[in-house]
Chain A
Amino acid sequence: MFFRMEVKMYKGASHKIWSILMVSPFVVFFLLFWALPLGLGVWISLHNWNVSSGNLGFVSLENYKSILTPGTLYYDLFMKGLKNTLYFVVISVPPLVLISLGLALVIDNLPKRFKPIYRTIFFISYSISVTAVSAIFLWLFNGNGGYFNNVLESIGIIREPINWLGEQPYAWLTILITTVWWTIGFNMMLFINALDEVDVALYEAADLDGAGAFSKFISVTWPQIRNVAFFIIIMTVIASFNLYGQTKLITGGGPEQSTNSLIMNIQTSVFGMNQLGIGSAMAIIMGLIMMVIIVFQYWLSYRNKE
Chain B
Amino acid sequence: MAIRTLTKPLLYFLLIGLSLLFLMPVYVMLVTSLKPLDQVTLSEMWKLPGTIDVSSYVTAFERLAPNLMNSFYLVIPATLLSALLGSLNGYVLSKWRFKGSDTLFTLILFGMFIPYQSILIPLIQFLREIGLYNTIPGLIFVHVVYGIPITTLMFRNFYASIPDEMIESAKIDGAGFLRIFRHIMIPLSITGFVVVAIWQFTNIWNEFLFAVTITTSDQQPIMVALQNLSGSQIVQWNVQMAGALLAALPTLLVYIFLGKFFVKGLLAGSVKG
Interface residues of A, Cβ cutoff 8 Å to B: 2-3, 6-7, 9-10, 16, 18-20, 22-23, 25-27, 29-30, 33-34, 37-38, 40-41, 44, 103, 106-107, 109-110, 116, 118-132, 134-137, 139-140, 142, 144-147, 150, 181, 189-190, 193-194, 227-228, 231, 238, 241-242, 244-245, 249, 263, 266-267, 270-271, 276, 279-280, 283-284, 286-287, 290-291, 294
Contacts and interface: CB of A to CB of B under 8 A. Distances in A.
B213 A145 contact: no
Contacts of A228: 271
B73 interface: no
Nearest to A249: B227
Interface string B119-149: 1111101100000000000000000010011
A121 B20 CA distance: 9
A276 B226 contact: no
Contact of B267 (A18, A142, A193, A244): A193
Given A124-B252, A238-B113, 11 more contacts: A40-B126, A44-B125, A109-B11, A128-B252, A137-B25, A140-B28, A194-B271, A244-B208, A276-B121, A283-B121, A294-B113
B26 to A, nearest CB: 7
A186 to B, nearest CB: 9
B42 A20 contact: no
B174 A3 contact: yes
B115 A130 contact: no
B244 A283 contact: no
Contacts of B18: 103
B226 A132 contact: yes
Interface pairs A-B: 3 shortest CB-CB: A6-B176, A132-B244, A129-B206
B182 interface: no
Given A3-B174, A271-B213, A41 B119 contact: yes
A23 B99 CA distance: 11
Given A7-B176, A244-B209, A129 B223 contact: yes
B251 A145 contact: no
A129 B247 contact: yes
A239 B37 CA distance: 37
Interface in B17-71: 18-19, 22-23, 25-26, 28-29, 42-43, 45-46
Contacts of A145: 42-43
Contacts of A2: 176
B251 A106 contact: no
A18 B97 CA distance: 11
20 contacts: A23-B92, A27-B104, A37-B145, A41-B118, A106-B15, A122-B22, A128-B248, A130-B208, A131-B223, A131-B227, A132-B226, A132-B248, A135-B226, A135-B244, A136-B25, A136-B241, A139-B45, A190-B267, A193-B263, A238-B113
A40 B123 CA distance: 9
Contacts of B126: 37, 40
B245 interface: yes
Q: For this complex, into which size category does the number of interface residues on chain B fall?
A: 35 or more
A81 to B, nearest CB: 11
Interface of B: 11-12, 14-15, 18-19, 22-23, 25-26, 28-29, 42-43, 45-46, 85, 88-89, 92, 96-98, 101, 104, 107-108, 111, 113-115, 117-123, 125-126, 145, 148-149, 171, 174-177, 179, 202, 205-206, 208-209, 213, 223-224, 226-227, 230, 237, 240-241, 244-245, 247-248, 251-252, 254-256, 259-260, 263-264, 267, 271
Given A231-B271, A291-B113, A23 B255 contact: no
Contacts of A129: 205-206, 208, 223, 226, 247-248, 251
A6 B171 CA distance: 10
Given A6-B176, A137-B25, A270 B89 contact: no
A129 B211 CA distance: 13
Nearest to A231: B271
Contacts of A9: 176
Contact of B123 (A37, A116, A190): A37
A126 B118 CA distance: 26
Given A40-B125, A147-B46, A280-B122, A127 B117 contact: no
A18 B96 CA distance: 9
B267 to A, nearest CB: 5
Nearest to A266: B117
B115 A127 contact: no
Contacts of A106: 11, 14-15
A136 B208 contact: no
Given A145-B42, A147-B46, A126 B248 contact: no
Nearest to B111: A34
A136 B244 contact: yes
A242 B208 CA distance: 12
Contact of A3 (B114, B176, B223): B176
B171 to A, nearest CB: 6
A19 B252 CA distance: 42
A277 B172 CA distance: 55
A20 B176 contact: no
A279 B148 contact: no
A19 B167 CA distance: 14
Residue picked from A40, A129, A194, A270, most chain B C-beta under 10 Å: A129
